[in-house]
């Protein structure tokens, strides 16, 4: 029997201290529905090296830094969301270094209805969604900074489910063969764990042939324009559905 990733090792509550506090955000009316897009990595943190076969490295000329791919995805998704009437805040709009606290600070000030952290990788296939592994907690006036996400983790799981179903049915014109293989897991996510919005990390991996072995041949690279468009359109559609859900009484 397979164990879902979400059922993996939990994280010790003892390790999470309340050095800072964060104010919980409220559910906001539709016209103010804000989405925070966090392009992971940046500056002196390139993230993974992508697009140069199965063992990419900075020495490989064709390798792309993950930080550039996530920034490009953030900008494209922003355009799609603005066109759908969302207010969008990006944690970074250029190649700058940001620590996890700075990202969470931007997200928490925005009082966002959804926070999406974008990653890209060469490992695995399709899209990997991750929600914080913190146990749900009741909202309080002042929240421990390192575990503020605990009060929104139930909503984050729902948002993860909405993104999962949109990506899994992302075939163009009803072609189910074009659905994007998507997994939803839970883990400790230092940036997200401090966010007071429903938050999901979205990691885009190449599409691979479903061959034996995790190194099945890549059929669409992470920077493949058509593949990225399908992923980003599915994310935008999921956020529309999420906004409608939030607006429902």
Contact between 103 and another protein (CB under 8 A)? no
**Residue in 47, 44, 25, 46 with CA at minimum distance from that of residue 36:** 25
Nearer to another protein, 48 or 106 (CB): 48
Instruction: Single out the residue of 83, 138, 210, 249 in contact with another protein (rule: CB under 8 A).
Output: 210
The span from the CA of 47 to the CA of 119, in Å, is 9
The span from the CA of 95 to the CA of 36, in Å, is 17
Instruction: Single out the residue of 125, 156, 194, 220 in contact with another protein (rule: CB under 8 A).
Output: 125
Minimum CB separation from another protein for residue 116, in Å?
A: 13
Contact between 9 and another protein (CB under 8 A)? yes
Q: Which is it for the CA torsion 147, 129, 100, 116, positive or negative?
A: negative
User: How would you classify the pairing of strands 49-50 and 64-65?
Assistant: antiparallel
Contact between 15 and another protein (CB under 8 A)? yes
Q: For 180, what's the count of Cα atoms within 13 Å in the CB-facing half-sphere? A: 35
213's contact among Zn ion, another protein, none, with CB below 5 to 8 A by partner kind, is another protein
Residue linked to tokens 């201290």: 17
Secondary structure string (H, E, C) spanning 126-155: CEEEEEECCCCCCCCCCEEHHHHHHHCHHH
Contact between 96 and another protein (CB under 8 A)? no
**Residues found near Zn ion in the complex (CB under 5 A):** 40, 47, 119
Contact between 22 and another protein (CB under 8 A)? no
Minimum CB separation from another protein for residue 120, in Å?
A: 8
Number of Cβ within a 10 Å radius of residue 60 = 13
8's contact among another protein, Zn ion, none, with CB below 5 to 8 A by partner kind, is another protein
Contact between 82 and another protein (CB under 8 A)? no
User: How would you classify the pairing of strands 143-144 and 207-208?
Assistant: unpaired
Contact between 171 and another protein (CB under 8 A)? no
13's contact among another protein, Zn ion, none, with CB below 5 to 8 A by partner kind, is another protein
Q: Which is it for the CA torsion 185, 188, 190, 196, positive or negative?
A: positive
Contact between 177 and another protein (CB under 8 A)? no
Contacts with another protein by CB under 8 A lie at 1-5, 7-16, 41, 45, 47-49, 54-55, 66, 119, 121-125, 128, 130, 181, 183-185, 187-190, 201, 203, 205, 208, 210, 212-216
């Amino acid at each position: 029997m397979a164990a879902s990733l979400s059922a993996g090792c939990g994280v010790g509550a003892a390790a999470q201290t309340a050095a800072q506090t964060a104010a919980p955000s409220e559910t906001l009316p539709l016209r103010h529905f804000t989405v925070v897009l966090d392009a992971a990595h940046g500056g002196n943190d390139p993230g993974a090296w992508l697009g140069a076969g199965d063992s990419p490295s900075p020495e490989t000329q064709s390798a792309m830094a993950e930080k550039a791919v996530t920034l490009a995805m953030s900008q494209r998704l922003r355009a799609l969301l603005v066109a759908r009437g969302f207010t969008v805040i990006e944690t970074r709009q250029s190649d700058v270094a940001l620590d996890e606290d700075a990202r969470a600070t931007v997200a928490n000030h925005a009082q966002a209805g959804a926070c999406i952290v974008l990653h890209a990788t060469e490992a695995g296939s399709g899209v990997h969604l991750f929600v914080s592994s913190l146990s749900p907690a009741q909202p309080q006036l002042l929240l421990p900074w390192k575990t503020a996400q605990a009060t929104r983790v139930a909503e984050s799981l729902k948002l993860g489910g909405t993104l999962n179903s949109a990506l899994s049915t992302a075939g163009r014109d009803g072609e189910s063969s074009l659905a994007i293989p998507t997994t939803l897991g839970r883990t400790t996510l230092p940036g997200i764990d401090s966010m007071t919005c429903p938050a999901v990390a979205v990691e885009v991996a190449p599409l691979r042939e479903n061959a034996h072995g995790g190194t099945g041949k890549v059929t669409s690279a992470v920077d493949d324009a058509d593949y990225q468009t399908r992923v980003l359109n599915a994310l935008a559609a999921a956020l529309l559905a999420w906004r409608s859900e939030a607006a429902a009484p």
